[in-house]
Amino acid sequence: MIDFIKHHPWQIIEEGFNPENQEAAESIFSLGNGKMGHRANFEEYYTGKSMQGTYISGIYYPDKTVVGWWKNGYPEYFAKILNAPDWRGIKISIGKQKLDLFTCKISDFKRVLDMKHGYLQKTFIAEFPDGKKIAVESVRFLSIVQDELGVIKYAVTPLNFSGEIDVLTDIDADVKNKDANYGEKFWVEVEKNYLPYPYIITETKKTFFQLCNAINVVFETNGDAFEPSTFKSFEREKYIGQKYRINVVENQTTTIYKYAAITSSLNYTKENLVEPALTILENAENIGFDGLFDEHKNAWEQKWLESDIVIEDDVAAQQAIRFNIFQLNQTYSGKDERLNIGPKGFTGEKYGGVTYWDTEAYCVPFYLSTAEENVAKNLLKYRFKHLPKAIENAQKLGFKNGAALYPMVTINGEECHNEWEITFEEIHRNGAIAFAIFNYIRYSNDTEYLSKFGLEVLIAISRFWAQRVNFSEQKQKFVMLGVTGPNEYENNVNNNWYTLKMASWTLKYTIESLGFVKKNHSVDLKRIIEKTNFNEIDEVGQWEKIIDNMYFPFDEKRNVFLQQDGFLDKELILAENINPKEKPINQHWSWDRILRSCFIKQADVLQGMFFLEDEFDTETIKRHFDFYEPMTVHESSLSASVHSVLASKIGEEKKAYELYLRTARLDLDDYNNEVAEGLHITSMAGTWISFVYGFGGLRIKDGKISFAPFLPNNWKIITFNVLFRGVRLKVQVVKNEIAISNLSDVDAEVLVYDSDFIVHANDDIVIVRNF
C-alpha cells in the first residue's frame, strides 16, 4: 500500500517529491478527455524511473501472440493501445545544466489533480549544481470541449539570478510500449515540418493508422507576449523540437504556453491531417489559455452536476468516490460508438487498453445513470457492430449456424487474448453482454433497441449456449464442461454455476425478446429471421428443453449452489487465515497451489446473484454470501464492489462499508501493489455501483426507479444524482429521511422502500421512514 496521497474532498495531492513514488503518481495523476489521455509524466527532463504513456483511443497495434505451445483457435495477435508520440516536453536548461527532477535538488514540490475542473498542477523549486534556483508552476489539461487539444501553461521564475535560460519544446514520436515484444517500436515517420507550426505525422506498423501532432508555443512576461532572442531547430527520425533562448530577470516570471493539436486518420483522411491540426492551433491561440481553461472548467462543472456524489464527514471516502467518477468521465465520453473502455483507460498499458466484459457488467450502469442515453447505448452498439467477428470467432472454435462467442479481449471484434484458459474457457462473457442489453432496456425503456440491434446479438449468443452444453446421460441434465468462471483461480472446471446460470437466463430472455419483437416490431423480426436464417420452431424448442433440464451443482447440506463440480473436495479455509506476508497470493503462491486452493479471486456465484437478484430472496443471498465471501481474497479489482452491494442488501453494514472503501481507494492506497502499471478504470464503475446500488438502494422495478437507502454508521448524510428516462433526480439520505429533488421539467414517479411517490417537476419531496 501507499500513503503519500493527502486526503481532500476535491483534489488528489502529493506534497514532497520521492522518486520511488513517481510511477505510481504517474498513474494516479493521469489526464484524459475520452479521445486521448496521458500519464502524469513530467514535462521536464527526467532520468529517474518512469513509464511514459500517451494514448489515443482506437489506435492500436496487433502484437504477435507469443506462447510456448500453439493451440488451434489461438488468436494471431494481442492488440495494444499504443504509446503515442509525446507532445508535452518543455525542457529547461541553464547553460549545460538540465532541469532534471531526478538529479536537481527539488524542494517545495506539490502536485495537485483538481478533479472538479479537470486539470493537473505542479509546483516546485529546483536548485541547479551551480546554486541557481528557479520556481516552476505548470498547469495542463486535455480539453473536454475541444477534444483534439492539449494545453500546458508553464511558468518559470528565477529566484537568485538574472540571465539566460534555454527552453526546448518538442514532439517525440520515437516511443515504444513498455510491454512490447522484443522491444519493438510501432511508429514510423511519414512527414514533419516547422511551418507554420512544428508538426510530425507518424503511422503505425501493420494497422497503418496515421497521427498528426502539431504544437504552438507562446512566451509571455508580465502579461505581454514576446519573441525569444534566438531559437534553434532540432530534428532526427521521429522527433522534432525547437530550442529557445530567453532572457530572465530575478523574481520575474516568464510563462510558456504550449498548445498541442492531435488529429488522427480515425477522423480525417490521411491526406487531410495537417490542416485541421493547424486550424485547432490557430483557434487555440486566438482564444488564449484563459478562455480555453474557462470553457474546460465549465464543462467539468456540468459533468459534476450530473454525476457528483457527496459524503459528509468522511474525507477519505469522499475523495475516493470523486476520484473514481472523475476517471470514468475522462476515460469515456460516448461520442464515438467505435470506442470503448479499457481496464486501464489512459493510465497504463496493462491489458492492452482494450475491451473486456467489464464494460457490460460494470460500466454500462454508471453511464446509464450519469449521462444521456446515447452514451451507454453506444457501448452496446459497439458490440452489435462486432457481431460478425463474434460469429467468426465461434466458427474458429468449431461452432456453427451463426453462433457467436464474443471475445474476452478485443479492440476490433477479433479475439486477441493469448491465455488458453481465458480465450477458450472464460465464455461467461457472453452472458454479461446479453445481460447488458436487458439492463439497458430495463433502465431506458428503449425497446426499439431490441428490434434494431439487440435481438440479433441475443440469438447469436443463444445459439452458442445451445451448442456449448451437452446432455449428460449420467445426470440426465444438460451440462457445460471445461470452463473458467469469473473466479480465475479455477480453470478448466465442469459446470461452473455462474456460467450455467447466465446461459440458461440468456436463452430465456432471448425467447421473451422474440415474443416482444414479434408482437411490437413484426417487420424487424422478419428482417432478422431472414438475415440470421432463424428457425423459430426448432431453435426455440431446443432452448426451452435446455432451460428446463439445465444442471446446477448444489449442496443439500449447506443449501447453497456450488461454484462448480468438485468444489467441496477442496479444503475449505477462510481467507483471513492466510499468512499476511503471502498476500496477495497471486504474487506469492505458485499457480498450482492457487488452483488447488478454495480461495476465490472475485465474485463468481455471487456475481450471478448480483445480476439476477430478483430471482433470489434475501435469505438465499445471505446464505451464499456467508459461505463464499469468507473464502474470497478480492484480488480482482472487480471483486469488492459486488460484495459490497450484496452486503448492503443483506444488512451487513460493517462489511459493506469495509468493501466499499477497498474498492473506492483501491488505486489511491494501492491495495494490490500494482498501481504503477495503471489505474483500474472499469472497476471504478463498480465503486459507483457499490455506492448507488448498495448504499443508495437503486433498482428498477416495474419500469420505475426505486430507492431503498442503507446508510453506514460512519456516514451522516449522503447525496447522489441519477438520470432516469430524461429526468434528473438528486437524492439525499440521512439516517431516517430521504429527500428527492426533481431537477427536470417533467414529473417523476419513484418508489422508496417499495412505496409509490410522485416528485413533481422542479420540486422535491421528503420521506421520513420510521424504523
Active site residues: 488
H/E stretch holding 255 reads strand 254-264
pLDDT at 418: 76
Our CA dihedral for 726, 430, 650, 705, rounded to 10 degrees, sits at 10
Question: Whose grid coordinates read 487531410?
Answer: 272
CB atoms within 10 A of CB 101: 22
pLDDT at 67: 66
Q: Can you say whether residue 352 is alpha, beta or left, with left for phi > 0 and alpha for psi between -120 and 50 degrees?
A: left
Angle at 721 between CA 719 and CA 724, to 5 degrees: 145
CA atoms within 13 A on the CB side of 45: 17
The grid cell for 553 is 451443482
Q: Which of 611, 624, 618 is nearest to 708 (CA)?
A: 618
pLDDT at 182: 73
756 burial type by CB count under 10 A (0-12 exposed, 13-18 middle, 19+ buried): exposed
331 burial type by CB count under 10 A (0-12 exposed, 13-18 middle, 19+ buried): buried
Q: Are 84 and 96 in contact (CB under 8 A)?
A: no
d(CA 503, CA 468): 9
Q: Are 35 and 132 in contact (CB under 8 A)?
A: no
d(CA 564, CA 498): 9
The grid cell for 617 is 430472496
DSSP H helices, 651-699, are 653-664, 681-689
Local structure of 104: helix, strand or coil: coil
d(CA 245, CA 648): 62
- The 10s digit of each residue's pLDDT in 144-189 is 999 999 999 999 999 999 999 999 999 999 999 987 777 789 999 9
- The 10s digit of each residue's pLDDT in 405-448 is 999 999 999 998 877 778 889 999 999 999 999 999 999 999 99
H/E stretch holding 55 reads strand 54-56
pTM exceeds cut of 0.85? yes
d(CA 18, CA 273): 40
d(CA 85, CA 173): 4
pLDDT at 285: 96
- Angle, helices 387-396 vs 455-468, to 10°: value is 10
d(CA 293, CA 118): 10
Can you give the length of the chain in residues?
A: 771
Q: Are 396 and 73 in contact (CB under 8 A)?
A: yes
pLDDT at 73: 75
Q: Which of 61, 58, 43, 55 is nearest to 84 (CA)?
A: 55
Q: Which residues contact 304 (CB under 8 A, 6 or more apart)?
A: 116
Local structure of 734: helix, strand or coil: strand
d(CA 131, CA 109): 18
Local structure of 169: helix, strand or coil: strand
d(CA 389, CA 556): 42
Angle at 665 between CA 662 and CA 671, to 5 degrees: 65
- Angle, helices 639-649 vs 681-689, to 10°: value is 0
338 burial type by CB count under 10 A (0-12 exposed, 13-18 middle, 19+ buried): middle
Bridge partners for 136 per DSSP: 124, 156
Q: Are 606 and 655 in contact (CB under 8 A)?
A: no
Q: Can you say whether residue 751 is alpha, beta or left, with left for phi > 0 and alpha for psi between -120 and 50 degrees?
A: beta
Local structure of 663: helix, strand or coil: helix
The grid cell for 222 is 508580465
Tell me which residues of the chain have a pLDDT lower than 70: 66-70, 771
